[in-house]
Amino acid sequence: MRVLLGVCGGIAAYKAAELVRALRGAGHEVRCALTRSAESFVTPLTLEVLSTERVYRQEYLQPTETGEELHVELAAWAEAICVVPATAHTIGRLAHGLADDFLTTTVLAFDGPIIVAPAMHSIMWMQPAVQSNAELLRKRGVAIVGPVIGELASGGSGVGRLVDLTVLLDVIERSQGSGELAGLTVLVTAGPTHEAIDPVRFLSNRSSGKMGFALAAEAARRGARSVLVAGPVELPTPAGVERIDVVSAAEMHEAVERRAARADLIIMVAAVGDFRVSSTAHRKLEKSELSGGLSLQQTPDILKGLAESAPGALRVGFAAETENLEAGACRKLEQKDAAFIIANDVSRSDIGFGQNENEVLVFSRDAEPQLIPKASKDAIARSLFDILGPAVLAHGAALSRVAS
């Protein structure tokens, strides 16, 4: 695994050097980026020797050999970023999306698991400002590990000590997950979209988001990095899932496109609104203004567009049909260039939209349609991953054969 260690200026910075050794000993590649103040506590040379890699300081404005900006290049290289020790200042900068040095700029360019290991005096750690910054990061899926209770550098003891390095090593390794899909990224969309007519009215559909949430949960359980782009639904975020909330089809399109190139499997479960209002009113419209009808525009077909923006990903669509299930599913398989279309009959009141149960038919290019009989959406998600899991592994293996 490729780990970027971000080292901040605190007494515990010397432990970052030990962590480099531990990570290398466990077979991982490590690169280090130091904040300005970190250099007062640990020298770049120490980290360079231990990591056998160049150490990143503040030289990011220099052009690289590939012409890529250095922070973007490093962010693309890393599979996990661990900030250790994280100072109150850097926790604040990360929480507020600031990019005023090489490390914070690289973190902003990174789209993967981030682990933050704070170490500071307990009075600082307990400050409401620091606590709420840490909470903000936690809510965004950042793993805040520690600090723990123990002896503090400034004397006395309290909550503020850097967590044990073996714990940190374990968290870093688990950030890639274990299980059959470890190391893979699964991107799932769920729920309806709302297309605003004016500030109080919108166009939408009956999707509850339950099937998409069940699939995202199952992807996480099988060890994948599970990213869920959710339309407006009230469901709790499943364990281990990174959730991005969106409202409209345009927002969903943008959120998916931004993450698609790094995904191995993309499952478009969302019932994306096919039409949006040509121009949304900024004030509530009078009845009389609506009586002439609405002017509508088609939204982009997200799944179809992924054939171009994420050609390497295994792409899966859902088809909600009320009649001619098979014909509709086969047409969508072709038109959207998907590997699988999962079809369900939404005219049945006992399954599908809004229900806790579903029954689906799985269509693929070279196999007969496969029925997954009526069961809870969690059970359907498990059965679907029994099919999609091996398919994505085979797809990845085939791609690497082509590349080599």
Catalytic residues: 205
Q: Rule CB under 6 A: choose which of 91, 272, 339, 380 binds ligand CTP.
A: 272
Contact flag: residue 270 with ligand CTP (CB under 6 A): yes
Contact flag: residue 104 with ligand CTP (CB under 6 A): no
Contact flag: residue 276 with ligand CTP (CB under 6 A): no
For ligand CTP, the closer CB: 82 or 270: 270
Contact flag: residue 319 with ligand CTP (CB under 6 A): yes
Q: Which long-range contacts (CB under 8 A, 24 or more apart) does 162-167 make?
A: 162/12, 162/15, 162/84, 162/85, 162/117, 162/118, 162/119, 163/117, 165/15, 165/18, 165/19, 165/22, 166/22
Q: Which stretch binds ligand CTP (CB under 6 A): 16-24, 214-222, 238-246, 313-321?
A: 313-321
Q: Scan for tokens 């080599």, then name that residue.
A: 404
Which residues face 315 on adjacent strands? 266
Contact flag: residue 229 with ligand CTP (CB under 6 A): no
Cis peptide before 63 (omega within 30 of 0): no
Q: Is residue 277 a contact partner of residue 294, using CB atoms and an 8 Å limit?
A: yes
Does the CA dihedral 309-315-318-319 come out positive or negative? positive
Which residues have C-beta within 8 Å of that of residue 369, sequence separation ≥ 6? Answer: 326, 329, 361, 362, 363
For ligand CTP, the closer CB: 133 or 189: 189
Binding track, positions 324-343, relative to ligand CTP; x by CB under 6 A: ----x---x---x-------
Q: Which stretch binds ligand CTP (CB under 6 A): 100-108, 123-131, 298-306, 363-371?
A: 298-306
For ligand CTP, the closer CB: 150 or 328: 328
Contact flag: residue 255 with ligand CTP (CB under 6 A): no
Q: Is residue 395 a contact partner of residue 364, using CB atoms and an 8 Å limit?
A: no
Q: Rule CB under 6 A: choose which of 317, 351, 378, 385 binds ligand CTP.
A: 317
For ligand CTP, the closer CB: 172 or 265: 265
Contact flag: residue 130 with ligand CTP (CB under 6 A): no
Contact flag: residue 274 with ligand CTP (CB under 6 A): yes
Contact flag: residue 277 with ligand CTP (CB under 6 A): no
Question: Packing angle between helix 302-309 and helix 249-260, nearest 10 degrees?
Answer: 20
Binding residues for ligand CTP, rule CB under 6 A, total 16
| 3-class secondary-structure state, position 397 | helix
399: tokens are 């791609």
- In the complex, the residues that contact ligand CTP under the rule CB under 6 A are 249, 268, 270, 272, 274, 299, 301-303, 317-320, 328, 332, 336
